[in-house]
Structure 1
Amino acid sequence: MRMPTWIRRHLAALRALLVFTVLLGAVYPLAVFAVGQLPGLNGKADGSLVKSDGRVVGSRLIGQSFTDANGDALRQYFQSRPSNAGDGYDPTSSGASNLGPESVVDTLPDPKLIAAGKEDGNAAQSLLTQICERGKAVGEREGVDGRRPFCTPGGVGAVLAVFGTRTADGTVPAPTRVVSLNEQDGVVRAPFMATYKGVKVELARYGEDYAMGKVVPIRGNAPDKPAVPADAVTASGSGLDPHISPAYATLQVKRVATARGISTAQVEELVKANRTGRALGFMGEPVVNVLTLNIALDERFPVQK
């Protein structure tokens, strides 16, 4: 007796399900796992884990912070580039700030909340202020000029709101009012510049609307080529970059050598040993792995306690 067509179709579908379940659910994953365990591939397949003193301390593919409980940089270690992934280098929150070059105006915090020791969840720093703040902090830590274009000496974006009649090209030749948008009244004593085109510059006040003013970034007198490299003040797209540029590594050599009581030549030797060139000889830029460099420092020149 011939089975009905609908039963034959269901049996064929069941056979296909069983076959593909075995192939794709068991055979293929086992084959991939087996290939990953081959010599030369097993380390990468297992996450490129790095061990020190017999224990896993991280992955050479994921960055991490080298700071104390207060978030301050440990002077005996090379510092990684900034991270916007969660609280920093969180693989579960990988991502960038999504702020672009036009992000130059901060959202100021409520001074009442700050006075009460609370955080204002609505406050936010612009990308420009983040870069300025980091540049200032790195400059102070490394003992170099941390100034950057369009940044105030206090480490925020040097941006004005200029009020007055605009010409056809959008400029305001005769301002009637000028406000320093990222410097808050009650937080700083005076704006980064006293006057603009003969008009006194005011500090920004929380709650005031400056949307009608023309936003004017002020370059200032920072050097054309800042002493602090770009990767020291900007986060990577993933927020997990484990590398820094050779320039940023070089900037930190003196501090690390002093903290460990060794010569800069000894530190530079380890920096060179943990530097990798361009991928395939032409893609990307040379980089230094911060984790493996710091481990090498601890192994060769441990800090005397």
Structure 2
Amino acid sequence: MRKSTWIRQHLAALRALLVLTVITGIVYPLAVFVIAQVPGLHDRANGSLIESGGEVVGSSLIGQSFADADGKALAQYFQSRPSAAGDGYDPLSSGASNLGPESIVDTLNADPSNAKPSLLSTVCARSKEIGDREGVDGSRPFCTEDGVGAVVSVIGPRDTNGAVSHPVRVVSVNQACPAQPFVATYLGVRVECAKPGEDYSVGRIVPIRGDAPADSAVPADAVTASGSGLDPNISPAYAAIQVARIAKSRDISEDQVRQVLDAHTAGRTLGFLGEPRVNVVELNIDLDNRDPPRG
């Protein structure tokens, strides 16, 4: 009797396994595949791939780097936003740098190639580079003219609020010696450059705003990576400051470049979701199709 019950229970479990395997392992995936082939869904379901000259050259969902082997921006192309995904836009290593707004002090090293910049210095360096490349003012608040975070360590006795009213030493913590500090004095004390390997956390870390405009000519998306590191879009503001460089490189008018840019500028989704955006991958491919780069 017990054996018969045991057999029936196991046969019922086996039938349930077979039925669920057919439904979830065959019927459901097949139904999803068939629905995905419906016109209007087909391209998205297959990766939103972009073809040019009969070859797949990318996806409209994943950004690309438009730089040479040394990482230098190619003058004839619109530049994407930075990426922290692997070596850049690696879909197998999507992710961000995980650095937050409190990351303002660099880890200096006698060998500059082994230094670890803070998020602030990374943003400052990118803004300066883009400003120089695009011919606009790349200065930002809390950034030095040479493109690092404008941060000092104020060393001395502290009051009950933690402030140092009479400092005995002030160090520009992100400017390695023999760099010239971005300010000569602070609270009447000469500012020193930082010595790699020396710890200045004993002092009060103070970011210095400087006289840069609150709204930089270089937009925020030009100097910060997306959460996934794969975002193919940039803001229309970042695209706009690149027009002159691209027109000059391709030997065409700025109006011609703007016409292509306007064709690839999308507004807010449904009129209120997200921000206006420009798909850099599609834009650069269209530019090459309309006007191949010279040389």
TM bracket, shorter-chain basis:
over 0.9
Partner Cα distance (1:2, 1:218) in 2: 82
Which residue of 268, 288, 291 corresponds with 1:298? 288
CA displacement at 1:174 relative to structure 2: 1.2
Equivalent residues in 2 for 1:87-106, closer than 5 Å = 87-106=87-106
Cα deviations by residue, 1:11-65 (Å, 9 ceiling, x for unpaired): 1111111111111111100110010011110000000000111101100000010
* Residue equivalent to 1:76: 76
Q: Work out the CA distance in 1 between the residues paired with 2:2 and 2:157.
A: 90
Residues in 1 aligned to 2:293 and 2:274: alpha-carbon distance in whole angstroms: 34
d(CA) in 2 for partners of 1:231, 1:2: 70
- Residue aligning to 2:176: 184
Pick one of 227, 246, 250 that aligns with 2:236: 246
Taking only the aligned residue pairs, the percentage that are identical comes to: 64
In the alignment, what sits opposite 1:17?
Answer: 17
Structural mapping, 1:46-65, within 5 Å: 46-65=46-65
Partners of 1:59 and 1:16 in 2: how far apart? Answer: 41
Pick the aligned partner of 1:167 from 152, 159, 165. 159
Instruction: In structure 1, list runs of 5 or more residues that go unmatched.
Output: none
1:163 Cα deviation from its structure 2 partner: 0.7
TM-score using structure 1 length: 0.94
Which residue does 2:126 correspond to in 1? Answer: 134
C-alpha displacement of 1:2: 9.1
Matched with 1:264 is: 254
SS at match of 2:241: helix
How far apart are 1:168 and its partner, in Å? Answer: 2.4
Quote the Cα distance in structure 2 between the aligned partners of 1:92 and 1:298.
28
- Distance in 2, Cα, partners of 1:286 & 1:145: 23
Supply the AA of the counterpart residue of 1:137: E
Q: TM-score, normalised by structure 2?
A: 0.97
Of residues 139, 142, 159 in structure 2, which corresponds to 1:147? 139
Letter in 1 for 2:177: D
**Paired amino acid for 1:13:** A
| Counterpart secondary structure, 1:93 | coil
Q: Which amino acid in the other structure matches residue 277 of structure 2?
A: V
Deviation at 1:204, TM superposition (A): 1.0
Distance 1:276 1:232 in 2: 18
- Partners of 1:150 and 1:65 in 2: CA distance: 28
Is 1:278 equivalent to 2:287 in the alignment?
no
Quick one: distance in 1 between partners of 2:134 and 2:33?
A: 46
Q: Deviations over 1:248-296 (max 9, x none)?
A: 0001000000000111111111111001111111011100000111011
Matches of 1:225 and 1:98, distance apart in 2: 24
Instruction: Report how far residue 211 of structure 1 moved.
Output: 1.5
Any residues of structure 2 matched to 1:162-241 within 5 Å, and which? 162-186=154-178, 188=179, 190-241=180-231
SS of match in other structure, 1:146? coil
Deviation by residue 1:217-276 (Cα, 9 ceiling, x = unmatched) = 001111121110110001011100000000000010000000001111111111110011
CA distance in 2, matches of 1:3, 1:164: 85
Letter in 2 for 1:239: G
| Displacement after TM superposition at 1:304 (Å) | 2.2
Amino acid at match of 1:148: R
Could you tell me which runs of 5 or more consecutive residues in structure 2 were left unpaired when the two chains were aligned. none
How far apart, CA to CA, are the structure 2 residues paired with 1:176 and 1:3?
A: 89
Q: Which stretch of structure 1 is more off in the superposition, 162-171 or 272-281? A: 162-171
1:84, distance to aligned residue in structure 2 (A): 0.5
Which residue number in structure 2 is paired with residue 5 of structure 1?
5
Q: CA RMSD in A?
A: 1.3
Structure 2 letter corresponding to 1:242: P
DSSP 3-state at the match of 1:4 = helix
